[in-house]
Structure 1
Amino acid sequence: MQKNTLKSGLQLSEIGLGCMSLGTDYEKAQPIIEAALESGITYFDTADIYDKGINEAIVGKALKTYQNRDDIVIGTKVGNHLKDNGETFWDPSKKYIKENVKNSLRRLNLEHLDLYMLHGGTIEDPLDETISAFDELKKEGLIKAYGISSIRPNVIRYYLENSEIETIMSQFSLIDNRPEALLNEIEHKGVKVLARGPVFKGLLTQNYQKVLNEKFEDGIFDYSNAALNQTLESLVNIEPNLSALTFNYLKSFNALGSIITGASTPQQIKDNVKQLNVEIPNEIVEKARQCVKNLEYEQHLK
């Protein structure tokens, strides 16, 4: 599988496993992680808040066997302060970030993190303080690289201009193409995009009709349900394999770091990698892109 290289030298597999959907049963999660490794996936994405830290512990336990491999990259996230009673509140303070990294390291059974990301963020955050926390963690050798997970243009632009981020995780697919507007700025800074939601809740799969009726009855963004249906029918007429189509669309951008896909079974891993490996001609991808709307971010612009 192709690897995409970050400024720090970390290499991300073109598909990464989004571990959020692994569940809390290690016996069920472990075979999924094994299937990912067997399929060439070497980037594993988790967060401290997933299942109140259990997800990190499962990922750490499953990958402990492979701790001598130098190609496995683990990314986790911080910012949602988890109270003892299970409640959370947003906390991008330096104090919390620098304290909580130790909890993530303990759960993941690691001495240092490959990639540490801010799990959200607003323009009202103490941005420079937050950035300094990540910079200090790098200098201290506790993390190799850092990034943010955000769909807010004003936040993304601030970090691009004022920090050493290496990744930006955003919802990104053929349907939700809003990140396109930021790609030139992202690429100019040598930052890579982690594209989550590539099949858009299942809408860009062979089950699109069922998903459309069950999850998008009221439409989404600038699309009504009828408009979505018409768009999907147009896409299918161009290329019936919608999953491969959206993967090829994402792979067409130089700023791509990894396509983050979730899986609740080993077979889903294999299916995702199979679709990634389907090569669709550029002219078909471009024709498909012309069938969907040019979506733009409407909030958090300044």
Structure 2
Amino acid sequence: MPVDQYYLLGRSGLRVSRLALGTMNFGTGGFHAAYGKTEDEARPLLRRYLDSGGNFLDTADFYTAGESESILGKLIAEAGARDRVVLTTKFTNSVDPGDPNAGGNGRKHMIRAVEASLRRLRTDYIDLFLLHTWDRITPVEEVLRTFDDLTRAGKIRYAGLSDVPGWYAARAQTYAEAHSLVPLVSLQLPYSLVERTIELEHVAMAQNLGLGITAWSPLGGGFLTGKYRQGEQGLAGAGRLSTAGSPGRSWTDREWRLLRTLENVADKLGVTMAQVAVNWVATQPGVASAIIGASSTDQLDANLAALDFDLPSEVRADLDEASATPPPSVYRMFTPDYQGWLVNPGAKVGDKPAGYAPAVRNWLPESTESRG
């Protein structure tokens, strides 16, 4: 099963599974309580993932009000798997609404968050520590220097970002490189056939600056599983994405056409719609790992099998076309068609060796070329 194939995360030597296990549903408290799992319900999910060869675990101090970390730490200890797993947790969200420094990305909260996560996770180090979301106020320099201090202190092994603007991630990595601080290795972002916004900037930025993308919600919050259909009142089907459960969210004709294309592809390949959706994300450029979750071992087994097949090029092209959206505003200027017209209409393009951008050849006026 390909879950026991490991890829380097970003520009690092850290080897991670192509499918990570998300544990946002471990626990029954806090914001995620509606679909949380007790310790006994979570245990077989973690065991099945580990037995399949998976080593990449994702949680956050915010998930189920800290229960996710506590349950995960206990279950990892039970399995005797601490040394072989890559344990990821995140900080930013407030743990005490009455304390202005109990949330955000400032140094005070970062250090407190690390110490609290270490206690809940029953470990003395975190493999990958992520800023959970941009707080819009903390200077990036403060975040990077604190990451560096935590790494040098042995509290964390690697650092990364989650849910930040492209410019912020670029600024952070460039600052780390310029000041000889520990570099960032990971960038966690939402990515799916129904949500491809990160392709506008984040993917190319991550590839150029050595950040391995870990994609969350590869199933579009469940929309791509196939259990929802277009009804007279909007979304039809039982689940968290029902109209009552997600007020204000509307689904466009484009998204319903995408769902039909996804269903046709799944039928053609003899797999599930969810497996196709996860496979597409996990094999996209710049993506190091896709984060999957599950409410049962059967569902986990199905998700783990998402990389047991290849997407033929013509099938991938169908999915790409069905899920594509026209680039907005200035991004239209960066498309191949526009660039070809802008730089040189009718230019012949030849490829340089791998690692270089295509070179435009034979575009100078004949009189200029003749002068060598």
Q: 1:193-272 to 2 correspondence within 5 Å?
A: 193-209=213-229, 212-213=235-236, 215=241, 224-240=251-267, 241-272=272-303
The match for 2:33 is none
In structure 1, give the amino acid aligned to 2:303: N
Among 183, 187, 190, the alignment partner of 1:168 is: 187
Distance 2:99 2:130 in 1: 21
CA contact (8 A) 2:258 2:319 kept: no
Pick the aligned partner of 1:26 from 32, 39, 43. 39
Range moving further from structure 2, 225-234 or 125-134? 225-234
Matched with 1:94 is 107
User: What is the aligned-residue identity percentage?
Assistant: 26
1:19-50 Cα deviation digits (max 9, x unpaired): 01123421111111111112222111011111
Equivalent position of 1:282 in the other structure: 313
Q: Deviation at 1:86?
A: 11
What pairs with 1:150-165 in structure 2 (closer than 5 Å)?
Answer: 150-163=163-176, 164-165=183-184
Deviates more, 1:99-108 or 1:5-14: 5-14
Q: Could you tell me whether the CA contact under 8 Å between 2:26 and 2:67 is conserved in 1?
A: no
Q: TM-score, normalised by structure 2?
A: 0.72
8 Å CA contact retained: 2:166, 2:205: no
Indicate if the aligned counterparts of 2:218 and 2:277 stay in contact, CA closer than 8 A: yes
Cα deviation code 1:128-167 (max 9, x no counterpart): 1111111111111111101111153332332233232111
Q: CA deviation at 1:216?
A: 6.9
Residue in structure 2 matching 1:144, options 142, 157, 162: 157
Provide Cα deviations, 1:248-267, integer angstroms capped at 9, x if missing partner.
Answer: 32233342221111112222
Aligned residues: 297
Q: Is the 8 A contact 2:61 2:90 kept in 1?
A: yes
Q: Distance in 1 between matches of 2:309 and 2:228?
A: 19
Q: Is the 8 A contact 2:103 2:109 kept in 1?
A: no
Relative to structure 1, is the Cα distance of residues 170 and 141 closer, same or farther in structure 2, using a 3 angstrom cutoff? same
Partners of 1:90 and 1:99 in 2: how far apart? Answer: 10
Query: Secondary structure, in 3 states, of the residue corresponding to 1:74?
Result: strand
Q: CA RMSD in A?
A: 2.8
Q: Provide the residue aligned with 1:10 in structure 2.
A: 14
Question: Is 1:179 the equivalent of 2:198?
Answer: yes
Q: Is the 8 A contact 2:161 2:186 kept in 1?
A: yes
> For the pair shown, which has the larger CA radius of gyration, 1 or 2?
2
Structure 1 residues not aligned, in runs of 5+: none
**Which letter maps to 1:16?**
A
> 1:108 Cα shift?
0.5
Residue deviations 1:239-281, cap 9 Å, x none?
Answer: 4342232223223334222111111222221110122323221
Report if aligned partners of 1:123, 1:155 keep a CA contact under 8 Å in 2.
no
CA contact (8 A) 2:101 2:108 kept: no
1:128 equivalent to 2:141? Answer yes
Paired position in structure 1 for 2:212: 192
Partner residue in 1 for 2:364: none
Residues 180-189 or 147-156, more deviating: 147-156
